[in-house]
């Protein structure tokens, strides 16, 4: 990424996008492994997508129904997940603020220890 910092909303959208890609890949792998429930469900989704988008009939390939079904599920996950990106971003923001508060307390405690050590070292009298 060219930007060093993202807003919480951009970060949440990135997570939803990555999640959608992973869900699509997981569905495709599940169909490749012929899992009992995943393969028929993915084929049913693919048949619905082929029914809604007839231009996909022109694309031929032995794995195309599984690929189309997995892509449709991934896109569906993305479309359903995007409205929740604001809530996810708020959660990220509050978690980040809590982490910063914990770090501040830890830094203050460490600074107090360092100052006490310096004071104690300055008071040392070796007669």
Would you kindly state where each structural domain of the chain is located, as residue ranges?
A: 8-122
Sequence length of the chain is: 127
Q: What is the pLDDT along the chain (127 residues), one digit of tens a residue?
A: 456 677 777 888 888 899 999 999 999 999 888 888 888 898 899 989 989 988 887 888 888 888 899 999 999 999 998 988 888 877 777 666 667 777 888 888 888 888 888 877 777 666 6
Q: What sign for the dihedral angle of Cα 17, 20, 26, 32? A: negative
Three-state SS for 62?
coil
Gap between the Cα atoms of 70 and 68, Å rounded: 6
Three-state SS for 88?
helix
pTM: 0.66
């Amino acid at each position: 990424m060219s930007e060093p910092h993202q807003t919480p909303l951009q970060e949440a959208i990135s997570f939803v996008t990555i999640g959608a890609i992973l869900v699509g890949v997981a569905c495709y792998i599940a169909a490749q492994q012929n899992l009992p429930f995943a393969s028929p469900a993915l084929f049913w989704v693919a048949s619905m997508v082929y029914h809604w988008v007839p231009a996909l009939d022109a694309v031929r390939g032995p794995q195309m129904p599984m690929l189309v079904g997995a892509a449709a599920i991934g896109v569906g996950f993305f479309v359903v997940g995007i409205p929740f990106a604001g809530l996810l971003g708020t959660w990220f923001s509050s978690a980040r603020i809590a982490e910063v508060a914990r770090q501040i307390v830890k830094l203050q405690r460490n600074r107090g220890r360092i100052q006490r050590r310096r004071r104690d070292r300055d008071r040392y009298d070796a007669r």
